[in-house]
Each structure stands twice: as structure tokens, then as C-alpha cells.
Chain A
Amino acid sequence: MSSDTAVSVMPKTRIPSNAEVLRTQRKERISLALRYLILGGVGLLMLYPLFWLLGASFKSNQEIFTTIWFLPRDLTRLLDFSAYYNGWMTRTEYTFATYFLNSFLIVIPRVIVTLISCTLVAYSFARFEYPGRKFLFSIMIGTMLLPPIVLRVPQYLMFKELGMIDSYWPLILPSAFAVDTFFTFLVVQFLRGTPRDMEEAAIIDGCNALQLLWHIVVPLLKPALISVALFQFIWTMNDFIGPLIYISTVEKYPVSLALKMSMDVSGEVEWANIIAISIVALLPSLTVFFLAQRYFIEGATSSGIKG
């Protein structure tokens, strides 16, 4: 009886509410569309230079400097990758393959030593009690405020004394001593936010300090370490002033210097070639970023706690 009533009543009450639901849904859809339109528009505006860069690699010098529209006038030119080929081959005796290899010879060791040194230093700051710890930490933070340019001259003189000029050592070695204080700070903060329970459980399980670091702390630090690796990769890849100061042999040039050099070689610059190779130079950083994105965003949320 009661269920009969419910069935007969339900349509009556739902017809007007259905219309209302539809109205609300339409409003929501319009508002959503508007929001995306604005976001998309602004996003496009921000990304336009990148699109333009991509288009310009298919344009002639004359067209590059005369049009703001990103597509070449003659769309068939989009199939012509000669600028990429010419740019890659360069006008020197080396192709960009050499320069990319050089870049990786700097970037990869630097990322590795950064990860090792930062982890060790951060672990000590975040987990051990020893005299002078707070003082040392504040000195480290203090160096973060120092403009990097201040260190250039003394560092240059030091590496000159050590006979390391025109090698990659001056670009890699400092990172082995955790001088990238921002990264150390990042890892210290991450570690401070991680509960110690797991480490204590591992101590009871029989870990010594180094086993603890390797088996427990490093896996816990994974998101932070991935962020460090990513930043160091991109920043080192894009670093221009460091190699400019220390590297003088063309054979040892990384990509950033080689790009600059291709602009200087002759008066008659084929801009499409340079633009094409700049786009190629972006690829490693972009690839690394998208590969690491998941962990990068995951950030500080991973831990063994669930209540």
C-alpha cells in the first residue's frame, strides 16, 4: 500500500523538479564553458610565443621578421625539415650530437652527485643531534641569500689554481659538496615533515644509520629527490654563464654555448636553423619533466600512515 502511494506520488513531484534540475545543469554547463574559454584564451596567449617559435622554424628569415602569425604563409613549408637538418649539422666541424653529448656529460654526473650530497647533508641536518647543528644550518640558509655572481671570481681563481679550467670539473664538483643549498633545504624540509616511526621501526629491525638511509629514508624521500633531480637537470641544461666562464674549447661546448655560437659564426644568420635547434634543445628538459611529473606533483603526500 505504502509503496503504491510512493510510486504514484513520485512522478508528480519529480516533473517540476526535473525541469529545475535541467535548468541548473544548463547554468552549470554555461558557467563551465565560460570558465574554460577564458582559461583557454589566456593559456593560448601565454603559449603563443612557443607556437610562434615552432612555426618560425619553418619560415624564411624575411618572413620571420615580418609576420606575427605563427604558421608560415606557404603551408607546404611545414613538411620541410631542412632547417632542423642544417641547424643540427652546424657550420662548425661538430654537429649538435657532440654538443648534446657534452651537455649530458655535465648534466648527468651533476644530477647524481647533487642527489647524493643533498641526501647525506639533509639527513644529517634533519635527523641527528650534534653540537653546532643549528648554527651550520643557518649558515647554509644564509648562503641561499648570496647572489651567485659574488662567487664567480673567487671560484674561477680557485679552479684555475687546481688546473681545472676548460674541463667539466668546475661545473660538477661544487654540487658534490651540497653547495646547491636550495636543494638541501628542500630535502631537509621534506624529511622534517616525515614521521620518524618508520625509521624507528627499522632501527628495531636492526638497521644501522647507513642501512636506514638506504633502505628507508631514500625511498621515503623519492618525491623530493625527483624534484631535485628535475630542477637540477633543467637548470644545468639551460645554464649558460657557467660553461661560458669555464669552457673555452669548442669541442667541449654544451648545447647552450653552441646555440649562442651559431648566431655568432657569420653575419648571414639563417634564423630558422637556430630556432629549429632551440626547439630540439628544449626536448630533453621537457621529456624529463613529463616523465617525472607524477612524482613531482605527488610531492609530500606519500607516507605509510593511514588512520
Chain B
Amino acid sequence: MASVNLEKIVKTYPNGFEAVHGVDLEVRDGEFMVFVGPSGCSKSTILRMIAGLESISGGELKIGDTVVNNLRAKERGIAMVFQNYALYPHMKVYDNMAFGLKLAGLPKQEIHERVTQAAKMLEMEHLLDRLPRQLSGGQAQRVAVGRCIVKRPEVFLFDEPLSNLDAKLRASMRVRLTELHRELRDRGQPSTAIYVTHDQVEAMTMGERICVLKDGTIQQVDTPTTLYDRPVNAFVAGFIGSPEMNIRPATLVARDGGLGVEIGDTMLPLPAAFSDALRNRIGQKVQFGIRPEHIGTPRSILASGSQERAAIANCLFRLREHMGNEVYTHFELGGHDFAARIPTDFAGDIDAAERGQTIQLGFVMDKVHIFDADTGLNLTLGASQLM
């Protein structure tokens, strides 16, 4: 049993700067939790507090049933993979992996068994005799992971472990780490994992749940799909998803039989389901959010079967980026920049459009989000996507 419980965790530095403001979070036993956020959001600080590398200024941290606030790192049952791998440069791979076990006073035979078993699991038996400087980035990463596995910790901590790898290797290591986690869990070994990253793609693909952080406070903790479809505020909406959600200023207006949003000089009708949530805000400034894939050409809207829920508007074409299967289309609506992701097969007119030309694009209105202009809170959380 190795859940990790954070209760009102606070971090204040000696100069008085409060980096973490009373964070409450439960990481369940065996769960793969990802901390994600922009740099400076204190995700690494929280991880380092869990690891015992940073002191905890306030609150209670539990690993399993034990309060570990004042326990040393080695007594917490954790293992950590660092961004720079942090392999001991003067020790061979075998000794790097065995170092912690030797310090713990394990018998030689058992150390040998654990190291060879982990090496087998990570397919790096041939690397055991090498020095860290003789390894490639990907290999060094595997050794760093191996060093954690041999310790059989209750909790694995990962501090941006893939950010030093090139894009291709990062993608394959992502899959490998996720598989490794599931494999450990299936074997019944403790496998709670907390993974810190600033890369939302890593967060979305690896996390069973994601904790989005900003300025030392948790914004939202949930599964990747929920975060994507039902972000609690404009920050989460903008951070999760690539290319990011279009979030632009707009005004709520009344129209015959319902509500609409006015973006510059263009009015888009909102579905009736939003009325309850937004009725008393008519005339107020809001932020209008729509993901790029919910904007399309009339043909692509038709093909996706959402033509009845879509509003067609005249837009000013600016630029297209061909991604192969999709065309990222940049355009202006009501004086604001927007981006759309349109399947290449349905790009149609866009392919021939000139810069500055007027094109018609459809907005799938039941997929939009309306955020409070000041607080950024999602006002349509109850209504959108429930239909």
C-alpha cells in the first residue's frame, strides 16, 4: 500500500517567497500521476519535497500510512529519476545500479540478482560493464530507471526524465516507461509513480491522472480526457492540447430565442443548453474558447456529422501549415487570430485561398467553452459536452 497524500503542503523559502500554497492531493496506490505546468509552477519543488530533497514548510506528507515530513530520503521508500540522469560518472553501470543496495547492506548475491533482473527487464545487460560516458542519452536514461527499479521502492519519482532526449527517442521512451509501469503493476510490485513534465503531450499520453499546476497551486486533477474535454478554467484549457485551444475575448449577447457570443463584429449563436449557465451574464465580457479541431470547412463539418450544431462564419484567411494528414489553418475572426485543424481531405477551398481572402468556416458550437473574463473559470462546465 503506497498512496501518496499531500495535505495543505506549503513551501516557503528562507527569503520569504512562498512557492507552494497549501497543496492537497492524493496519488493512489499504483497510479501513474503526472504533474504538469509551465516552468516556475513549482511542480519540481513538490516532487523534491516528496523525495526528501526539499524541506516541507507546512502541511503533512504521507507515503502509505506514514507521515514522512521529517524522514530522510532513504527512509521514505522512494526512488527518483533525474532530468540529467545523475549517474555516478566514476562507476560502471552495474555499480551505479548496485550503489544504493550496497549502502543498504544487502547481501552480494541478492544485489547481483536484482541488478541482472532489472537489466534484463530494460534490455541493457550488455551495458553493465560500461561507464556512463560511454552511453547514449537513451541508454543513460534506461540505466537511471534501472537504478530505481532495483531498489523496489514504494513510489517512483520522475523529474522531467525525457527532456534531454531528441523527439524520436522521447516518443519511444514514453511508451517504454508507461509499459514498464503497467508491467510492474501487473506483477503486483509497488508501482505508484509521480512524473513531472512541462510537456503536455507527455502528460496526456503517460498519465492515468494529471495534476495541472500553476504558480504553486493545483488547477485541476483528473484523467487526460476529462482535462481535455472539461477544463475547469482557461489556464487548463489553454495548457492541455496541441495546438492549443483558441481563447479570445468576446461578449455575451441575447438573440432571438437564445444566447450568442459576439467576437468583434461577428455573432456566433450558442446552443440552448448554455442558456441556464449564462443567462444572467448577458452583455458581459467573457472569454470564448474553442479547440482547433472543432473548427472546419463546411465540407469537413458535414463529414463529421456535426453540421446541425455548427455555426458558419466568414473569416479572413491568413496562413496554412500542411502537416500531412491535417492542415493547420490560421485565420482572423472579428479581429482576433484563430487556428483550425482541418483534415487534408476536406481542406478544399483552403488549399487555394490567398492571404486576406474571405473563407467560410464552421464552428461546432456545442464544443465551445465560455470562461469568465477575470477569473478564467469555465462557466459552461455543466453544460458543454454533456449533450
Which A residues are within 8 Å of any B CB, using their own CB? 195, 197-198, 200-207, 211, 215-216, 219-220, 222, 302-307
Contacts and interface: CB of A to CB of B under 8 A. Distances in A.
B74 A197 contact: no
The residue among A202, A206, A215, A220 with the most chain B CB atoms within 10 A of its own CB is: A206
B104 A219 contact: no
Interface string B78-99: 1110111111111000000001
B165 to A, nearest CB: 8
B89 A204 contact: no
Given A204-B52, A206-B74, A219-B90, A304 B85 contact: yes
Contact of A206 (B83, B100, B135, B136): B100
Contacts of A198: 86-89
Contact of A205 (B103, B133, B164): B103
A222 to B, nearest CB: 8
Contacts of A216: 88
B140 interface: yes
B132 interface: yes
A298 to B, nearest CB: 12
B88 A206 contact: no
B147 to A, nearest CB: 8
A205 B135 contact: no
B87 A304 contact: yes
B105 to A, nearest CB: 9
B158 to A, nearest CB: 13
Contacts of B147: 201
Contacts of A305: 84-85
A167 to B, nearest CB: 38
B342 interface: no
The residue among A197, A215, A305 with the most chain B CB atoms within 10 A of its own CB is: A305
Contacts of A202: 88, 99
Nearest to B140: A306
A306 B88 contact: no
A306 B86 contact: no
20 contacts: A195-B86, A197-B83, A197-B84, A198-B88, A200-B80, A201-B80, A201-B87, A202-B88, A204-B52, A205-B103, A206-B100, A207-B103, A216-B88, A219-B90, A222-B90, A304-B86, A304-B132, A304-B133, A306-B136, A307-B84
Contacts of B140: 306
B-side interface size class: 20 to 34
B137 A307 contact: yes
A195 B99 contact: no
A204 B51 contact: yes
Nearest to B151: A205
Nearest to A197: B86
B73 interface: yes
The residue among A201, A207, A303 with the most chain B CB atoms within 10 A of its own CB is: A201
Nearest to B85: A304
Nearest to A129: B14
Contacts of B83: 197
B53 interface: yes
The 5 closest A-B pairs by CB, nearest first: A205-B100, A197-B86, A206-B74, A304-B89, A219-B90
A211 B100 CA distance: 12
A205 B99 CA distance: 7
B73 A204 contact: yes
A220 B86 CA distance: 12
A44 to B, nearest CB: 38
A304 B100 contact: no
A203 B88 contact: no
A201 B103 contact: no
Contacts of B79: 204
A68 to B, nearest CB: 51
Contacts of B80: 200-201, 204
A305 B82 CA distance: 11
Contact of B86 (A201, A206, A207, A302): A201
Contacts of A302: 89, 133
